Chains A and B, each alone.
Chain A
Amino acid sequence: MKISVAFQPVVRLDNQALLHYEMLARVPGHPQAHRELIRHTEAAGIIYLIDQQILRHAHRTLREDTRDQLRLAINVSADTLNRIGPAYLAQVLALPWAIRSRMMIEITETAPLRDLAFIDHFVVALEQADVAVGLDDLGAGHFTPREIRRWRPTMVKIDGGLIEDLLYGPNRELEAIKEAANDCQATLIAEYVDVAEKIPLLLAAGIDYGQGNLIAPAQSQPAYQPKEFSNG
């Protein structure tokens, strides 16, 4: 199974400055098929093959970035950690420091994590190796503020559904996530920033970073250009 990758920028919402790119799996020649790819490989228990390929892509991309400009976030699914967690961790730790210190690993919990003691070790081992850890999809998957407090990630990504709710007023679940993230000095990132109306609401809510098609869709190259947003 061969995949390609796409890069979607995560930026500061107040000035559109780049934070990093999320490196995403794509199916060559089928730009919209990635959701199916993730769903089917997860169901078949082989998403670890995708996660490992993405890790290799990230290594290669960062190695080729000789000007030290790129910072990349990649996903690792709970299923991968359940099946080959120690081997995956060993692969990350085997990367040269100059590479791995430019990476963030986002744990995506579309399935429950089985061995929480291993995840404790996984997170600490990555942090000690200067690999940032993120928790993905807060508000949509299995993660809750309890996991934020347990693993104290560098970054917490908030699912688009909760961000959408901001348009209709304060949200208790979002407040609990924010409180846990602030207590742990975790940076909050809003996903699915797709309309300009969300940006002032996010900033007012203390969520300083975001990603989504309004900012820039995923592209085949990491070539983000900041742009002005208009509410009109």
Chain B
Amino acid sequence: MANILCVDDSPTDLHYLVQILTNAGHQVITATNAKEGIDAALSKKPALIFQDIVMPEGDNGFQAIRKLRQNEASKDIPIVIVSTKGQETDKIWGMRQGAARYLVKPVKADEVLAAVNELVA
């Protein structure tokens, strides 16, 4: 069982992701914008972060990932991007910013849980 942070401005997408993770026995923290997500990452020290990219309020997900990677306290937390941006170039860009995996919405439960199993020790 892991402590996992989910950051997404879409209540529907966030609810779906939380349900997948809690059904699998994980503890989930949520945030609805990049700033909340970064604050939660620094204060709660999750084992894994699921990060949305297109978020109209404040920083976008790529900016959030760069900030998390630059901070000593969060630089080693694995990040999984969960985004509607599903082109090959988006994936290349996301991995370049420091994500460990890139999932395209709508995500499937098995790919979410596979990412958790691979990235959480």
Contact = CB atoms under 8 A, between A and B. Distances in A.
Majority secondary structure, B binding face:
helix
Contacts of A185: 96
B85 A12 contact: no
Contacts of A104: 89
A132 B93 CA distance: 8
Interface in B60-97: 60, 62-63, 66, 84-85, 87-90, 92-93, 96
A130 B87 contact: no
B89 A130 contact: no
A97 B60 contact: yes
B88 A17 contact: yes
B54 to A, nearest CB: 8
Contacts of B87: 18, 20, 69, 71
A116 B120 CA distance: 42
Interface in A145-204: 154, 185, 187
A93 interface: no
A14 interface: no
A97 B63 CA distance: 11
Q: Chain A: interface residue count, which band?
A: 10 to 19
Given A130-B93, A185-B96, A12 B88 contact: yes
A154 B62 contact: no
Of B66, B84, B87, most A-chain CB atoms within 10 Å: B87
Given A97-B60, A130-B62, A154 B93 contact: yes
A101 interface: yes
Interface string A42-77: 000000000000000000000000001101000000
A37 interface: no
Contact of A68 (B60, B85, B96): B85
Interface string A86-110: 0000000000011001101000000
B89 A71 contact: yes
Interface in B24-54: 54
A18 B60 CA distance: 25
Nearest to A104: B89
Contact of B62 (A12, A18, A101): A101
Contacts of B84: 68
20 contacts: A12-B88, A17-B88, A18-B87, A18-B88, A19-B88, A20-B87, A20-B89, A68-B85, A71-B89, A97-B60, A98-B54, A128-B63, A128-B66, A130-B62, A130-B93, A132-B89, A132-B92, A154-B92, A185-B96, A187-B92
Interface of A: 12, 17-20, 68-69, 71, 97-98, 101-102, 104, 128, 130, 132, 154, 185, 187
Interface of B: 54, 60, 62-63, 66, 84-85, 87-90, 92-93, 96
